Every structure is written in C-alpha cells, then in structure tokens.
Amino acid sequence: MTQIDELQQNLQQKKAALTQLKSDKAQVLQRLSEHTQLIGSTVQDGPLQLTAMAAAAGKAADTEPAVETARKHVRHNAARAIDLVATIAKLEAEIAGLEQQLDTVGLPEKKKSVPKKKPAAPVKKAAQKVTVLFLAANALKNAPLQLDAEARAIQDNIRRSEHREAIDFVTRWAAEPLDILQAINEVNPQVVHFSGHGSHDDQLVLQGDDGQPKFVSLAAIVQVMLSASDTIRLVFFNVCFSDDEAEAVVHYVEAAIGMKTSIGDEAAKVFAAQFYAALGFCKSLQTAFEQAKAALMLQGIAEENTPQLYVKAGLDPAQLVMVKV
C-alpha cells in the first residue's frame, strides 16, 4: 500500500467517525431540548403535569421528583454536548491536515529562483472584522427604556475609535425569542448584545408575537449559546439582574458581561458605549471593561460595581482581544 493509499484510507475512516459524532451531537441536543421543555412546563402546568409528562416520556418519576430527574438529564446532556463539540473540532482539524498532506504528497521539490524585490513601503494592516449583534426589546410598557439612545451612543463611539471599520454594528429591534436564533444564523456575530429588561428569576424580557412581554429562561439562553453559532465569543447582557445568565454562558463562549442588580438607562448607555469604543482601539476585554467602569465614575454615575465580567475557565480576560491588527 502506497503512502497515498494509506492517507486516503485514514481520511475516509476519520470522515466516517466525524459523521457519527455529528449525529450523536444532534441526538444529545435533542434530548437536552426535551428535558429543558419539561422543566419549563412547571411555569404553566405545575409539578403534577410535569410528572405526567415525564412518565409518558419513560422517565423515572417514582424515586424522585420528575423536575429533579429532568435537571440531571440537562446537566448530563450539556456536559456530553461540550465533549462532543471539542472532539468534533479536533477531528475536523485532523481531517484538514490529512487533506493537506494528500494535496502535497509526491510533488517533487523544485528550487525556483525568486527575483529580489525592493522593500515595500510599510502598509497599515487592516484590523480583524468583528460583528456585534444588538438585540433590543422594550417589552414593558410601564417601564420604557431608552434603547435607541444606547444604540446611538455605541455607534457614535465606534465611529470615533481607531479601527471603526473593523466593527460591524447590526441592530434588531422589538426582538422576539425566535428572532435571536434567526439573527444569529443570518449575521454570525462574534458579539451578541442584549438590551432591555431582565427579571429577578434569571429571565430576559423579550417581545411576544402578541405584543405582550415574553419571559425567556436561563436554560433557553444557555441552549442558544450552545447550539446557535460557532463564531460567538462574547455575550453582553446589558439588562438588569443578568449576572447569573453571564456566568452560565461562559461554559460555551469565551466571555460574558452581566449586571448583578438593576442598572439605570444612563449607566447602561455610558458603560456600553465606552466598552465598544475601547474594543475599537484594540483593547483587551479586561481593559475595555475597566475603561467602561471608569466612564461611569467620570460621569458621576455611582453604578460602576453593577457590571460583572466572566470568562471561560482557563482564559485570561487581559489576553482576550476582539479587534486585532
């Protein structure tokens, strides 16, 4: 068997394994979604209905409450999904390496005379492109927020930054729950920014299709971050009582920002605008976060301790840079 034959056989085996792993991942995500729905059903149907649903689905309901069983399944399937994502990424890299070897194996090495060129004048490098998806929902009619002012302040500060062309700021207004997935699939953002209301129960308050507020659970937010896009690096919850959401999603993305209590309109606007301005100057997440807090203090807004920055285990926010040159 020639070297090319061995490479091709190895490549076919790894591609077959990759197909199986992707199928396993889809099944795990489906189970995760089913158990998440079981947990969420307690809001409307109560524990008795949840127990009946669990029994109908073949879940153990006699030895412990059905909701606890569902939560265990959620934790187990989430961990399994994370392992599968890592294994798939590793296998895809191995496949790419094998394909590259097949492209080059057997080619004779030829020395080519390369004419000397005059040194080129230094050219300013273009910064790496970053897309920010701004999802806004002003769902509580009795407590309106100045979300348009926040978006305008962010855009103005981005325009004044050194690498303004590197940040693409995309907005979606009156966001409904399913708009999140649709927008992420369309835009493939590196940053997802939620602007609006949050609740004490770790929920985002979005717009319902009937015009009424729609509460989105923490489990649903985590599921979105797990399954929606491989490009997301940062999630910015510029909503009240969102630090639990931020802490939860960093299991699946590099970093997140949340608010540990309520935050005022002016504070949310000033903090976010300065944060994105710092990103436009190629600052790290840690520096951008600290500058945004400093902006609150310079404006005399005593809410600099409300924002919280979280990063995935093993990462250093001082080394995480969104806009690079």
Out of 115-124, 232-241, 275-284, pick the least confident: 115-124
Strand ranges for 243-322 from DSSP E = 255-259, 307-311
DSSP string, 91-120: HHHHHHHHHHHHHHTTPPP--------PPP
Per-residue confidence (pLDDT) for residue 62, from 0 to 100: 47
pLDDT band for 92, please (50, 70, 90 cuts): confident
More confidently predicted of 37 and 205? 205
Q: Give the pLDDT confidence of 55-71 residue by residue, as tens digits.
A: 555 554 444 567 678 77
Q: How far apart are CA 304 and CA 194, in angstroms?
A: 19
The CA-atom distances, in angstroms, between 130 and each of 120, 126, 158, 214 are 28, 12, 12, 30
pLDDT at 119: 62
- Rounded to 10 degrees, what is the CA torsion of 292, 293, 298, 299? 80
Q: Percent of the chain beyond pLDDT 70?
A: 82
For residues 52 and 37, the model is more confident at 37
Pairing of strands 204-207, 191-198: antiparallel
Neighbours of 106 (CB within 10 A): 8
CB 273 within 8 A of CB 156: yes
Q: Which of 74-78, 122-126, 185-189 has the lowest mean pLDDT?
A: 122-126
Residue 43 pLDDT: 44
Distance CA 68, CA 203 (A): 20
Give pLDDT, residue 26.
81
**d(Cα 297, Cα 303) in Å, to the nearest integer?**
8
**What confidence category does residue 50 fall into, taking pLDDT thresholds of 50, 70 and 90?**
very low
pLDDT at 17 over 50: yes
Instruction: Name residues whose C-beta falls within 8 Å of residue 69's C-beta, 6 or more positions apart in sequence.
Output: 54, 59, 60, 61
- pTM summary value: 0.62
Q: Which of 36-45, 88-97, 139-148 has the lowest mean pLDDT?
A: 36-45
Tens digit of each residue's pLDDT (9 = 90 or more) over 264-314? 999 999 999 999 999 999 999 999 999 999 999 999 999 999 999 999 999
Query: Which residue has tokens 């209905």?
Result: 49
Mean pLDDT, to the nearest integer, of 87-104? Answer: 81
pLDDT tops 80 at residue 111: no
Tokens of 264: 């005022």
φ and ψ at 257, to 5 degrees? Answer: -125, 135
Q: What pLDDT is stored for residue 295 in this prediction?
A: 97
What is the rounded distance in angstroms from the CA atom of residue 26 to the CA atom of residue 311? 26
The mean pLDDT value of the chain amounts to: 84
Q: Which residue is listed with tokens 């569902």?
A: 70
Residue 76: pLDDT band with limits 50, 70, 90: confident
